[in-house]
Structure 1
Amino acid sequence: MGNTDKFEMIANTYDTSERIQIAKVSSDAIRNYLVDAKSKNAIDFGCGTGLVGMNLLNEFKSMLFLDTSQNMINQIKQKITEFNFHNVDTLCFDIEKESLSGFHADYIFMSQVLLHIHDVGLVLSRLFDVLNEGGHLLIVDFNKNEKIVSDLVHNGFKPEELTDIMTKIGYRDIQFKTFYTGSKIFMGHDASMFILDSKKTHQ
């Protein structure tokens, strides 16, 4: 997945106060979309050091933290040991390189992950295959910001365009809203963040 090398290097110092704050507002936004989740299994996709997923552990029956960076996964393993978390697992895996076979989840959430993914359609399609029938994919990311020009990341997304991609894959009941605006939170620029909820269902 994109920028793994960079994340390997910053894993030990990733949990800044700014990132912790954004993770909190992101996990609060995700929590608003959860329905009867206590009996459900979740995947924190592109979890980093688990800042968002850790805030949501009590909402689910179990959670898998998944990231392409082994150093990020190691940070989570330390937290799991330190806080004696149960019903938690970790996996270092790159879904852009191969399908995630053998894993299924009722909820998959990804926070500020999609902007690092080169082939958005491919990854969203592979995540669709992982979802159980009736399961939800929740995406938290930046709204499109034309001021940002980068070879490393997408400069945000238009949720309407994501909706088109996802509808073709088979996602349904797609809804989104902007839930947070912050100063200099996206590569030194002021930016706003959206949450998108979608469902895998045969209609």
Structure 2
Amino acid sequence: MGNTDKFEMIANRYDTPERIQTAKISSNAIREYLAEPQNKNAIDFGCGTGLAGMELLHDFKSILFLDTSQNMIDQVRRKISDSNIQNADTLCFDLEKDSFSNLHADYIFMVQVLLHIDDVGLILSRLYDILNEKGHLLIVDFNKNEKIVSDMVHNGFDQMELANTMEKIGYRNIRSRTFHTESKIFMGNDASLFILDAGK
């Protein structure tokens, strides 16, 4: 996944009050789209230090925290161990480089992850393969922002364009909405977050 080296370096200081707050807002938005999740398995894709997934641990039967950065995964493992969490596991894996045929989940959620991914279509297709039938992919990310110019990340996404890309892959019943706006949240710029729910 893009920017792995950067995340390796900042893993031990990633959990700032701002990121913790954004993760809570994002996980609350995700929670609104869950149906009987207590019997379902989830993947926190591109989990970082697990800020969003940790907020949702009690909602699901189990959560797999997956990231390309070993240092980020080590932070998650420490949290799991320190809190004696029983329904979580971790995996360091780069889905952009390889597919994973043994991985399956009822829900996959990704919070501010897609903007770091070079080949968005490839990842969305591989996540579709991981989803169980009637499973759901939940994406939280920034709306497209023309003020952002970066060769490190996408400058957000147009919700309609993203939905069209996902429909071509096979996703169904796609719905999305903007749920949060905040100042200086995206590379020092004011920005808004959307949530998109797509079924298999």
Q: If the length of structure 1 is used for normalisation, what is the TM-score?
A: 0.98
**Structure 2 gaps, min length 5:** none
Offset, 1:123: 0.2
Runs of 4+ more than 4 Å apart: none
Q: How does 1:114-125 map to 2 (within 5 A)?
A: 114-125=114-125
Counterpart of 2:36 in structure 1 is 36
Aligned equivalents of 1:70, 1:101: Cα separation in 2: 21
Which letter maps to 2:52? V
SS of match in other structure, 1:59: coil
Aligned equivalents of 1:98, 1:194: Cα separation in 2: 28
Counterpart of 1:173 in structure 2 is 173
Deviation string 1:133-175 (CA, Å, 9 cap, x unpaired) is 0000000000000000000000000010000100000000000
Which letter maps to 2:5? D
Offset, 1:131: 0.2
Offset, 1:101: 1.4
Counterpart of 1:53 in structure 2 is 53
The percent of aligned pairs where both chains have the same amino acid is 73
Offset, 1:87: 1.5
Counterpart of 2:147 in structure 1 is 147
Aligned equivalents of 2:100, 2:60: Cα separation in 1: 21
Counterpart of 1:135 in structure 2 is 135
SS of match in other structure, 1:58: coil
How many pairs were matched up?
200
Offset, 1:100: 1.7
Counterpart of 1:187 in structure 2 is 187
Which letter maps to 1:136? H
Aligned equivalents of 1:157, 1:169: Cα separation in 2: 17
Aligned equivalents of 1:142, 1:39: Cα separation in 2: 30
Which letter maps to 1:94? D
Q: How does 1:78-89 map to 2 (within 5 A)?
A: 78-89=78-89
Which letter maps to 1:87? N
Aligned equivalents of 2:70, 2:185: Cα separation in 1: 25
Is residue 199 from structure 1 mapped to residue 191 from structure 2 by the alignment?
no
**Structure 1 gaps, min length 5:** none
Aligned equivalents of 1:45, 1:148: Cα separation in 2: 24
Q: If the length of structure 2 is used for normalisation, what is the TM-score?
A: 1.00
Counterpart of 1:108 in structure 2 is 108
Which letter maps to 2:127? L
